[in-house]
Structure 1
């Protein structure tokens, strides 16, 4: 997922030449570090960490979800069937792209709409593909990886939200429609820190990461798509995960950042949702924000660590079911599900 390699600085997004893939460490100042006073929340349905865990395990069981593989096709078909089984309106967006190493891949974005008739909409984003190599692994750099947290956990939270919403009678449904938009080909990008021996064939031709969200942002599905805000899940299933307020999220969707983090605090999830600010990274939210959807990135990282942004499991073979925690899945899913029921 994620573009990951220590993400590009936001300065790079503005077109400045950079020589590193690390986050801009000059943007680590923190403000508003004190959680707000608790407020009474409207009633929302219960998100099941057990169910989200099972959805994560199911995806991992298919094998690495690398574009052009049988496991990738099977997983995509399963996702489409699950959303349809919950009564959502499902659309597929097939596309072809070239990766940094010259591979031509066949991919597809998946869009599933809950209450498609609703005028007000919120988008839930995630990527469903797996990076084809564990290039951050200390001993198995070219091995395939499960992507249990990086990819599967995010999709699992989205699936559980869809399942829960589908069970609500009209009288208990949120007043907004919800669009679950799963991006493909997010994680086959060039990492200059771990792949310096390789040539990036997309150098100068655009970002090698987030190919699915780049395509979607230029070919919106549904056409002319609009949403009040979006939430990107990325690496949201690991034990002890920490989520800070990422820089681009603060710049483009501060109102949604505050809504999510304040809700998490009221629900008692401040061990996960930290009231501190983190550097900007390149992730799918870069392109959804460019498409006019103010988007927040909820992504696991090591807070206040100037030397290492991501946990050790990132792009390593240790990103497997052994690190997945039902409590983390619950904290993320229940928080964002609750946010859908706010004014």
Structure 2
């Protein structure tokens, strides 16, 4: 996940701290007050199934690491498209080719699946579906591919379960907005200066960020054409044991109302142990490029509340496997996003 990809070390000084921004590193930590909206009663929403989301996570992992240019990547992409179509969504593929930081040409494809495509008001839900090709933070196997059960599969799994839930509701019980599920590819094939300083970043100086290649392509070639949404929510690393979600700074700056909606909804549902009223430094993730495309987007990403590292210990290691997946975390995120849609 997002980012999971890029990510640098965040070393706070007296808990508030200066942050060094590298590719995928957090900016200086700030505290921003987000005004809570006037509360309205919670509307009736479907029950998000953590078991179903867990099964979707396991299915993706069963293909193997979803690294671009591999058989597992192609097979998983085909399966994702078939699942969205099975639920009656309108599906479009956006193939693209992009050069990675190491010079490899990656064959990627973004996937756009639309629920209630004729609805004028829309909310966009994003995740990345690829996995990083090397566990460069793993002390024993830094060159090994890894499952990406959390970093990649968990966010996609939540979106698939949301799509399934919406598709089973009668018209009288669907939300008052259309929902677009947008899966980005080639997000996690980026250059990490903290682990790959011995390698050359061939994209340096090109104007192309080495992370988030799929969302960069989508932002410049919107699909559907001239796409608009009221706001967007990116899910990245949303299924781990002990997962915690702070209010990422760029999210607060770009879409404070959406941050307030999501975090306040989580609190009202009883998930305040997961969605912390705590600010986190900015991170380079897919939401950055969505915002650049003119769609206000926030990032729900697992951020360590305390300690020196921005990312949890499993990030970009072989520990990112099904043993790390927690149904309770999937439930907290999935039910919160589902309720947020029904509050519109």
Does the CA contact (< 8 Å) of 1:154 and 1:236 recur in 2?
yes
Q: Which residue of 1 aligns with 2:135?
A: 134
> Over residues 255-314 of structure 1, what are the superposed CA-to-partner deviations in whole Å (9 max), with x where a residue is unaligned?
000000000000000110000110000000000000111001000011143x21000100
Cα distance in structure 1, aligned partners of 2:103 and 2:294: 30
Residue 55 of structure 2 is aligned to residue 54 of structure 1 = yes
Cα distance in structure 2, aligned partners of 1:164 and 1:319: 27
Q: Could you tell me how far 1:8 is from its partner in structure 2?
A: 9.8
Extract unaligned runs of 5+ from structure 2. Answer: 11-19
CA spacing shift, 1:168–1:137, aligned 2, 3 Å: same
Does the CA contact (< 8 Å) of 2:47 and 2:335 recur in 1?
yes
CA spacing shift, 1:25–1:204, aligned 2, 3 Å: closer
Does the CA contact (< 8 Å) of 1:265 and 1:273 recur in 2?
yes
Task: Indicate the SS of the match to 2:85.
Answer: helix
> Over residues 34-88 of structure 1, what are the superposed CA-to-partner deviations in whole Å (9 max), with x where a residue is unaligned?
x999863011111100000000000000000000000000000000000000000
Q: Could you tell me how far 1:6 is from its partner in structure 2?
A: 2.1
> Over residues 189-233 of structure 1, what are the superposed CA-to-partner deviations in whole Å (9 max), with x where a residue is unaligned?
000000011100001112000000000000000000000000000
* TM score, norm. by length of structure 1: 0.93
Task: Indicate the SS of the match to 2:110.
Answer: strand
Does the CA contact (< 8 Å) of 1:135 and 1:141 recur in 2?
yes
Q: Which residue of 2 aligns with 1:195?
A: 196
Does the CA contact (< 8 Å) of 2:8 and 2:194 recur in 1?
no
Aligned residue-pair number:
333
Q: Could you tell me how far 1:25 is from its partner in structure 2?
A: 5.7
Does the CA contact (< 8 Å) of 1:247 and 1:277 recur in 2?
yes
Does the CA contact (< 8 Å) of 1:217 and 1:288 recur in 2?
yes
CA spacing shift, 1:192–1:149, aligned 2, 3 Å: same
- Within 5 Å, which residues of 2 pair with 1:304-343? 304-305=306-307, 307-343=308-344
Does the CA contact (< 8 Å) of 2:97 and 2:107 recur in 1?
yes
Cα distance in structure 2, aligned partners of 1:100 and 1:204: 11
Task: Indicate the SS of the match to 2:72.
Answer: helix
Cα distance in structure 2, aligned partners of 1:19 and 1:149: 24
Task: Indicate the SS of the match to 1:340.
Answer: helix
- Quick one: which of 293, 303, 325 aligns to 1:291? 293
Q: CA-atom RMSD, angstroms?
A: 1.9
* TM score, norm. by length of structure 2: 0.93
CA spacing shift, 1:83–1:22, aligned 2, 3 Å: closer
Q: Which residue of 2 aligns with 1:300?
A: 302
